[in-house]
Amino acid sequence: MAGETFPSSTRPDSAALVPRIARTLRHESLGERLVAIVGLAAFVAGTLPRLAPYDRYLTLSCLAVAAVFAIRFALRLYRAPPGPERILNIGTFIDFLAAAPVPLALLLGAPPDAARLLGVFWSLKLIHFNPALGLLARVLSNERQPLVSVAMAFTVVLLFAATAAFLAERAAQPESFGSIPAALWWTVTTITTTGYGDKVPVSFAGRLLAGAVMVSGIGLFALWAGILASGFAQELRRKDFLQSWELVVQLPLFRGLGAPALSEVTRLLKAQRFPAGAMIVKRGQPGDSMYFIAEGEAEVHTQAARIRLAAGQFFGEMALVSGEPRNASVVAATPVRLLRLDVVDFLGLAANQPELLNIIQAESERRGLAKPG
């Protein structure tokens, strides 16, 4: 929290520190990315022959970039908690690769244009801290078995196709298809539908084979893309589920539910955020969902009064229970985090968890919005 002070004997607990560190690192990583882009531009430009007269300046720019990364590396090492993880982690390794190779190569006497090429490691700074990368790593790890199976199928198709091409074409084109390794090059460019055209089958059988290889290549790539796409979707659903679960278990309404019922509820609820002042529900409109307040406060605007609802309470249930239009507007009084339950899921939940429906109905009646009975 801004302006928060701690007595000298007390330290902020780790839960409070994590968001702070994350915020600081986000700013730092943005700066580092900008420096990396400058360095990469200097290293790429340095390979253009017409910029040879500026060789000295390009090398100086690369050294300046490496110096910035060396300072970052030292600072991060200094800040890291003691222990082997201080050095043995991927972040420190990337920091080291960004800081050391270019100056080290120059110190060891490498020509400046060759030393500058080691600036290619700065590209790693562009992906460092990227949360999407963690997601990709998890998807690859989760889906490794089907991915490896497709890779094996790919290898089998490659080998069969290269052998068939060798048999069909070796007599007519011994220089291009005279061995399996030579035929494999043609097979790889054909199966990926890259088709450089440097090797082309001329026999009828060879052309038939080329068609079959192209079609099976498309199929295998589609399979790969499908596995990755469903892996990503599954991982995102899992993330959503965990996020909702954390919020759902805090709600008093669901406290008595067992784990299976809780997980059913969690699957149905969709987490949503609204900024302060946003209209969530409008009076007179048909109701298609109800909301549980997970964080923040909402304000109900009836014709007669304004009622504050806090975290743990719900609203929007009346229209679902009675089938009538919304009888009040509900506005976010502070930034709020809500869990939305759509009408179809509300009906399903009401059928499976009648005690939840009873509580919701009782609350509606207490509010004087639903007719008893």
Least separation in angstroms between residue 324's CB and ligand CMP is 7
Least Å distance, CB 254 to ligand CMP, is 17
Rank residues 100 and 369 by Cβ distance to ligand CMP and give the closer one.
369
Minimal distance, residue 319 CB to ligand CMP, in Å: 3
Cβ atoms of 271 and 240 within 8 Å: the answer is yes
Shortest distance, position 340 Cβ to ligand CMP, whole Å: 13
The tokens describing 305, both together, are 């009064």
Cβ closer to ligand CMP: 59 or 364?
Answer: 364
For ligand CMP, the closer of residues 99 and 357 by Cβ is 357
**Closest distance of CB 18 from ligand CMP, Å:** 35
List C-alpha distances in Å: 354 to 21, 161, 347. 45, 62, 10
User: Where does this chain bind ligand CMP (CB under 6 A)?
Assistant: 281, 287, 300, 302, 307, 315-319, 326-328, 330, 367, 369
DSSP state of 325: P
Task: Give the shortest CB-332-to-ligand CMP separation in angstroms.
Answer: 13
Nearer Cβ to ligand CMP (210/281): 281
Listed in sequence order, the residues at least 6 apart from 77 whose beta carbon sits closer than 8 Å to its beta carbon are 86, 87, 92
Q: How far apart are CA 297 and CA 300, in angstroms?
A: 10
CB of 367 vs ligand CMP, minimal distance in Å: 4
CB nearer ligand CMP, residue 143 or residue 299:
299
Smallest Cα–Cα separation from 315: which of 263, 306, 180?
A: 306
C-beta of 200 vs 343, nearer to ligand CMP: 343
Cα(256)–Cα(80) distance, integer angstroms: 42
Please enumerate in sequence order all residues whose Cβ is within 8 A of that of 247, keeping only pairs 6 or more positions apart, or say none: 269, 271, 294, 295, 337, 339
**Stated length of the chain:** 373
Nearer to ligand CMP by Cβ, of 183 and 320: the residue is 320
Give the nearer residue to ligand CMP in terms of CB position, either 207 or 367. 367
Report the SS3 class of residue 291: strand
- The residue among 257 and 328 lying less far from ligand CMP, judged by its C-beta, is 328
**SS3 of 207, please?**
helix
Q: Which CA distances in Å does 117 have to 60, 69, 138, 371?
A: 14, 16, 32, 77
Q: What backbone phi and psi angles, to 5 degrees, belong to 298? A: -120, 155
C-alpha Rg value of the chain to the nearest Å = 31
- The DSSP code sequence of 119-168 is GGGGHHHHHTT-HHHHHHHHHHHHTHHHHHHHHHHHHHHHHHHHHHHHHH
Query: Smallest gap, in angstroms, from Cβ of residue 239 to ligand CMP?
Result: 29
Beta-carbon-side half-sphere exposure of residue 10 (alpha carbons within 13 Å): 7
> Which of 325, 169, 138, 371 lies closest to 239 in space, CA to CA?
138
Write down the least CB distance from residue 36 to ligand CMP, Å: 51
Alpha-carbon distance of 244 to 269, in angstroms, equals: 7
